Amino acid sequence: MQSIRNIAIIAHVDHGKTTLVDKIIHASKIFRENQEFNDLLLDNNDLERERGITILAKNVSVRYKGIKINIIDTPGHADFGGEVERVLKMADGVILLVDAFEGPMPQTRFVLGKALNLGLKPIVVVNKVDKENCRPDEVHESVFDLMFNLGATEDQLDFVTMYGSSKQGWMGPDFRNPTDSILPLIDAIVEHIPEAPRPEGIPQMQVTSLDYSAYQGRIAIGRVFRGELKEGANMALTKADGSIKKVKIKELHVFEGLGKLKVESVSAGDICAVTGLDDFEIGDTLTDAENPEPLERIAVDEPTMSMLFTINNSPFFGKEGKFVTSRHIRDRLMKETEKNLALRVVETDSEDKFLVFGRGILHLSVLIETMRREGYELQVGQPQVIFKEIDGQKCEPVEILVVDVPEATSGKVIELVTQRKGELLIMEPKGDLQHLEFNIPSRGIIGLRNNVLTATAGEAIMTHRFKAYEPYKGPIPGRLSGSLISMETGTTTAYAIDKLQDRGFFFVDPGEEIYMGQVIGEHTRGNDLTVNVLKGKKLTNMRASGSDDNVKIAPKINFSLEESMEYIQGDEYLEVTPKSIRMRKIYLDENERNRMSKKETVA
């Protein structure tokens, strides 16, 4: 039986994780000499490449000296925390990749902490030692300090360190003596990462992630922890509620290079993909039909937030997108639920409106951003948390919010969180940072991340996990200022914007096309104000010296997709098209808005 190593790679954005995997793949001669390949093989969607966050964990494998190495790519972002823990369960060791100049970064800390708690053996790779001003020795010390602060064991602290440059394709134990290949790193993996155990007995495979194929349906991916799986075998699938379902393995695939290889059997220690299982969930165990033995379940966070998705019915609809009908949007959302675990879609009583339930703002925004890039036009409503009635009492989702922040700014963070009904549970030093833990309603987290990062100069690390439904905590202060709304459809003029600057801040520049009812700025007061930003200066043949040519307009405020989602009010929609993001009132006509608000007041 061949020896197997399962290794996960942890790194911060832009530290070279994907480039390193590329070089390992090339070194193991997966590509034929004449075959062409692209760089960044793993981050294969544009969104991942741009944001620098691996959203979906991927698997590749290489063979070296008769040993199979399964490489598992991990998402580095805390909002995909559920994904991280599941993925690390498949590994026996981790490569921690850090930049020789920047050193370990905040997000690395989150994933590394999870890996150390699971008892995984680390190998540290200090990358980019060819950069100017790099400081490999100091970075090595800071990695040691970080692991010590995260409570690593003595065995974990006795880690091997490799230095090199993924881009130039070399790694070695000493950065002063560059080698000519990446093979010393692969040798270190083989030598120091424990071999995957191969226990015999009743087969057990836990489903840790899933894939979807138009031909084969849903595909279960996971590691075989014990025994052997065989093609065509009758097995049992143990579910979350304790029930056991009889299933049959249709096909088995192992990961080979960048693709999959069909095999007849998979033994313990390897990672495989199984087709033919319908109706499975993450955490289910595939085991023997006669003597089922389930593994301990992995928790998948349940959705805590919902957003209304609807067709784009603004005056500018259909100008930029290819897919604009409710049928297009329904089909796309249903396709997403096949492989996006924490996402649920519920149809409403209206044909063109869908309620989409997700884990948080980032989770939902990645879906919206992916859809707009694919050519969809849609509108989304204000994010809402999901309330439940338990024993006759209104309850809301409460999350445990963990913030690690430098001591100097911890006071600001506590103030921001308590304003949003957060309760401080724990405050303790954690190495060089203050570790804060809060109970906070999910409503309070909307819009909080930006405020916290601003207050801490970007140094706070925020993670939140769903805790439970608890009694409603009362109103939370939202946005204090009203909206500036366009009175007419047309092109904005510098003259009109200049004259209205004392009324608020604008989200549009002169010369932009806008429509009636579009939210074009933030009012300085709490009420909404309808303004005309289209009118030009009355033209006469007299020239007023000194006042005509000195229009000074503050630059418009640019919102990212997430910021826009957090900014809109309950009576507003966010219009999302492949090229634009616009905020608008649900009712574009001012008279209709007034009529509807009176109806709501009466009701």
Q: DSSP assignment, residue 464? A: E
- Locate 528 and state its tokens: 């909404």
Q: How many CB atoms lie within 10 A of CB 211?
A: 18
Q: Is 18 annotated as a binding residue?
A: yes
Q: Is 509 annotated as a binding residue?
A: no
Q: Which residue has the tokens 């120091």?
A: 192
Q: Is 16 annotated as a binding residue?
A: yes
The angle at the Cα of 170, spanning 165 to 172, to the nearest 5 degrees, equals 95
Output the CA torsion 41→47→50→55 (10° steps): -70
Distance CA 542, CA 16 (A): 63
Q: Is 129 exposed, middle or buried (0-12, 13-18, 19+ CB in 10 A)?
A: buried
Q: Is 312 annotated as a binding residue?
A: no
Number of residues that make up the chain: 603
Q: Is 17 exposed, middle or buried (0-12, 13-18, 19+ CB in 10 A)?
A: buried
Give the contacts of 386 (CB within 8 A, at least 6 positions apart).
303, 304, 305, 306, 357, 396, 397
Distance CA 171, CA 152 (A): 25
DSSP E strand boundaries for 276-362: 285-288, 305-310, 344-347, 353-358
Q: Is 127 annotated as a binding residue?
A: yes
Phi, psi (deg, nearest 5) at residue 40: 55, 65
Residue of 537, 485, 557 lying closest to 515 (CA atoms) = 485
Determine contact, residues 365/383, Cβ cutoff 8 Å. no
Distances from the Cα of 218 to the Cαs of 24, 210, 212, 556, in angstroms?
Answer: 30, 7, 5, 46
Determine contact, residues 286/210, Cβ cutoff 8 Å. no
Determine contact, residues 473/490, Cβ cutoff 8 Å. no
Q: Is 478 annotated as a binding residue?
A: no
Determine contact, residues 503/529, Cβ cutoff 8 Å. yes
- 433-441/423-430 β-pairing: antiparallel
Residue of 449, 590, 470, 574 lying closest to 529 (CA atoms) = 590
Q: DSSP assignment, residue 79? A: G
Distance CA 103, CA 43 (A): 22
Helix axes 106-117, 136-149, angle to 10 degrees: 50
- Locate 516 and state its tokens: 């009636």
Distances from the Cα of 379 to the Cαs of 522, 524, 540, in angstroms?
Answer: 20, 26, 43
- Write out the binding residues: 14-19, 127-130
- Write out the binding residues for GTP: 14-19, 127-130
